[in-house]
Amino acid sequence: MTTVELTMGAAINQALDEALAADPTVFLLGEDIMDPAGGVMQVTKGLSTRYGRERVRETPISEQAIIGAAIGAAMAGMRPVPEIMIMDFLAVCADQLVNHAAKLRFMSGGRTNVPLTIRCLHTGGFQMGAQHSQTLEAWLCHVPGINVVFPSTPADAKGLLTACIRNDDPCVFVEPAALYGAAGPVPAGEHVVPLGQADVKRPGSDVTLITYGRQVHDCLGVAAALEGEIDVEVLDLRSLVPWDAEAMLASVSKTRRAVVVHQAVRRCGVGAEIAAFLSEELWGTLLSPVLRVAGKDTPVPYAKELEDFHLPSAADITDAVRAVAK
Amino acid sequence: MTASAETLLDMYRTVSRIHACDERLRNLLNQGKIFIFYYSPRGQEIIPAAVSACLGPDDYVVTTYRGLHDEIAKGAPLRELMAEILGRSDGTCRGKGGPMHISDPRSGVMVTTGVVGGGIPIANGLALASKLQGDGRVTVVNFGDGAANIGAFHEALNLAAVWNLPVVFVCQNNRYGEFTPLHETQRVEQLSTRATAYGMPGVTVDGNDPIAMYEAAARAVERARNGEGPTLLEAMTYRFMGHFYGDQMPYMDQDEYQAALAADPLPRFRALLIEQGHATEEDLAAIEKEAGAEADDAVEFAFASPPPDPSDLFEDVYAEVRR
């Protein structure tokens, strides 16, 4: 397979470009997405110039209207890709996402469906304060009817976004802003990563680190640093709904020790669900309780010293791995 | 555009079907044969009868929990509608939606929302799809006066104007938002004046007057169809049965309520058709009898339909069944 070195931002742009070229029902809508701005992070740069302002539509700062328009268009045969600039703003359009997009297939007994893909970025670590730094995937996972997708590499971002756009249900595709500039090999042309398939980013035999998004890289760093001491496997979930139960069970059945790592706050986070799942399925096999390394249960603070302390660190991950490996 | 005699009689047929179904549901509740929350459209029947007379089968409609009249007027099949209201497997939504969430895309009834104002932004999307696909459809979204105070209304009307969408915003102003009269919640005399703020025409019409309502709806639908953009159409009406059926309505102004009941739009419509020579007493009695028989048949069908099987629960959450 031919690959090209691309940043995650460029890989996402390529996935959108290819989807717009291949399928006339695909269109984008959102704030500041048209050229010359091309998106606040330039992820949609060039697309309005190439496909026109009908298919790459600028919107007012009206998140409810954006998601509502995407829902209606999706119900009528289109495949809209709305952008909600920052994940925190999903709160502004929660009614449209939670009460409508997620439920219309079900409430109509399958007579309607809503094939839309919401792209949003999440930050954290940029001193953007409490309203621009949250990681809110647990909210989404708690609402049946939504797919929740979280890439960690440029290749996965392209393949997962393509899968989301082709999926017949609402997807929320969360882009870790910290990874936009990180480059990696990306398959040229058609590339689809099916939802619900985790990826072993590093094999190991002693402890499984289960993670997704930006923390995949933190976990790989810790695993490398612990080489020779503890053999760590890093399992990247890639999508949280649907999730890859088999991959988690296969890995943890082997290592018998697991740590879940995510940037979102700890209380009722995805880590709690994974820990419960593993203890239900592997009770008696586990050599240690499943530990969680997560954001502390506070709003995300502004000052660098406070934010660093709030976020899960490599040291926190290392401590947890050592604790379960004892 | 003036309603022809034929159009007016079609509207009367629609009104009669709505009235027959509504009456049967209230009777079933009175008799203790069903136990549901029911938001009766009694008093508001003329509005969708007139609007739907201006629409084709392919046009889209979005409505709210007080939407039985809108759904029937758009052509949702009575049997499946009644079965859905009773939570049966042969319902429009196989018992998963219920009266607050009727969808019947075959008749163009796309969304019924239980969230005040929640359908307004979605109507824009349906209309946008029509514009992008060039299919010439018009989308009508119905909502109450209460919905005009939620943010989604303002966002959606602004966007519809900016994108010049083929959509008609029908505000069925029944003068109460849940248990509160509208003078407690707004300072403007007429909600249609808000249209100015978005750069679209705003029209207030007597929604209980079949001729005026038809003319206003026809103009708004024609505008949308011709690519001239959205209209906010405020149809003045009155809610006869309170917020939900069984509501004791202590918050209602009794003089106003009695006056509204005395001006019930249904007998007025009936008298008008006879006065203008469009129909005889016998013609209208025949229409009412046929509507009643259809409603009875729908109720019978609904009671005969089996409840959904619990195993159906996992279907329709996603395209594929996940457990």
Please name the residue of chain A whose CA is at the shortest distance from the CA of residue B101: A107
The verdict on A79 touching B (C-beta cutoff 8 Å) is no
Contact A100 B103 (CB under 8 A): no
pLDDT grade, residue B238 (50/70/90)? very high
Which among B60, B101, B128 is the nearest to A107, CB-wise? B101
Name the CA dihedral angle for B278, B283, B288, B289, rounded to a multiple of 10 degrees. -170
Contact B132 A54 (CB under 8 A): yes
Q: How many CB pairs under 8 A join A and B?
A: 155
Contact B122 A75 (CB under 8 A): yes
- C-alpha neighbours within 13 Å on the C-beta side of residue A239: 23
Statement: residue A159 has pLDDT above 90: yes
Task: Give percent of chain B with pLDDT exceeding 70.
Answer: 100
Contact B122 A106 (CB under 8 A): no
The verdict on A145 touching B (C-beta cutoff 8 Å) is yes
Q: What is the pLDDT of residues B114-145, one digit of tens each?
A: 999 999 999 999 999 999 999 999 999 999 99
The verdict on A166 touching B (C-beta cutoff 8 Å) is no
- Report pLDDT for A261: 98
Q: What is the pLDDT of residues B38-84, one digit of tens each?
A: 999 999 999 999 999 999 999 999 999 999 999 999 999 999 999 99
Which residue, among A116, A157, A111, has the nearest Cα to A29 in the 3D structure? A116
pLDDT grade, residue A1 (50/70/90)? confident
Name beta bridge partners: A119: A83, A173
- Report pLDDT for A87: 97
Residue B47 phi/psi, 5° resolution?
-60, -60
Which residue, among A240, A283, A284, has the nearest Cα to A260 in the 3D structure? A240
Q: What is the DSSP letter of A152?
A: -
The verdict on A77 touching B (C-beta cutoff 8 Å) is yes
The verdict on A108 touching B (C-beta cutoff 8 Å) is yes
Tokens standing for residue A75 = 């119900």
The verdict on A74 touching B (C-beta cutoff 8 Å) is yes
Name beta bridge partners: A4: A186
Contact A105 B317 (CB under 8 A): yes
Chain A, window 21-40: residues with a beta carbon less than 8 angstroms from a chain B beta carbon:
27
ipTM, 2 dp: 0.97
Using DSSP's 3-state secondary structure scheme, residue B271 falls into helix
Report DSSP letters for B179-242, one per residue: TEEGGGT---S-GGGGHHHHTS-EEEEETT-HHHHHHHHHHHHHHHHTT---EEEEEE---SS-
Which residue, among B184, B170, B198, B195, has the nearest Cα to B51 in the 3D structure? B170
Shortest distance, CA A13 to any CA of chain B (angstroms): 22
- Asked whether the beta carbons of B158 and B198 are under 8 A apart, the reply is yes
B contacts of A77 (beta carbons < 8 Å): 129, 133
Cut 0.90: pTM above it: yes
The chain-wide mean pLDDT, for chain A, equals 97
Write down the domain spans for chain A.
3-187, 199-325
- The Cα B38–Cα B25 span in angstroms is 8
- Report pLDDT for A98: 98
Shortest distance, CA A88 to any CA of chain B (angstroms): 18
Which among B60, B103, B158 is the nearest to A111, CB-wise? B103
Please name the residue of chain B whose CA is at the shortest distance from the CA of residue A55: B132
- Report pLDDT for A311: 98
A264-295 core/surface letters (b: 16 or more CB in 10 A; e: else): bbbeebbbbbbbebbeeebeeebeeebbbbbb
- Report pLDDT for B323: 80
A contacts of B155 (beta carbons < 8 Å): 60, 62-65, 68
Average pLDDT score over residue span A245-250: 98
Shortest distance, CA A15 to any CA of chain B (angstroms): 22
- Return the CATH class of domain A199-325: alpha beta
Please name the residue of chain B whose CA is at the shortest distance from the CA of residue A82: B125
Which residue, among B96, B56, B75, B38, has the nearest Cα to B311 in the 3D structure? B96
Shortest distance, CA A267 to any CA of chain B (angstroms): 25
- Asked whether the beta carbons of B183 and B236 are under 8 A apart, the reply is no
- Report pLDDT for A38: 94
Please name the residue of chain A whose CA is at the shortest distance from the CA of residue B58: A76
Average pLDDT score over residue span B163-176: 97
Contact A168 B316 (CB under 8 A): no
Q: Do domains A3-187 and A199-325 have the same CATH topology?
A: yes
Which among A55, A72, A109 is the nearest to B126, CB-wise? A72
Contact B121 A59 (CB under 8 A): no
Tokens standing for residue B24 = 């049967």
The verdict on A113 touching B (C-beta cutoff 8 Å) is yes
The chain-wide mean pLDDT, for chain B, equals 97
- Report pLDDT for A221: 98
Which among A71, A78, A110 is the nearest to B316, CB-wise? A110
Candidates A29, A31, A75, A167, partner chain B, best to mutate (most B CBs within 10 A): A75
Contact B121 A64 (CB under 8 A): yes
Contact B156 A144 (CB under 8 A): no
Domain B5-300 in CATH 3.40.50.970? The answer is yes
Q: What is the pLDDT of residues B195-222, one digit of tens each?
A: 999 999 999 999 999 999 999 999 999 9
Using DSSP's 3-state secondary structure scheme, residue B41 falls into coil
Tokens standing for residue B118 = 């929640």
Cβ-Cβ contacts under 8 Å for B117 (sequence gap 6 or more) = B143, B146, B147, B148, B150, B151, B152, B153
pLDDT grade, residue B1 (50/70/90)? confident
Average pLDDT score over residue span B15-20: 98
Q: What is the pLDDT of residues A131-152, one digit of tens each?
A: 999 999 999 999 999 999 999 9
- Report pLDDT for B264: 98
The verdict on A239 touching B (C-beta cutoff 8 Å) is no
Fold assignment, A3-187:
Rossmann fold (3.40.50)
Contact B96 A109 (CB under 8 A): yes
> Residues of A with catalytic annotation?
132
Statement: residue B4 has pLDDT above 90: yes
Contact A68 B317 (CB under 8 A): no
Q: Where are the alpha helices (DSSP H) in chain A?
A: 8-22, 47-51, 63-75, 94, 104-107, 137-141, 154-166, 215-225, 245-255, 270-282, 304-310, 314-325
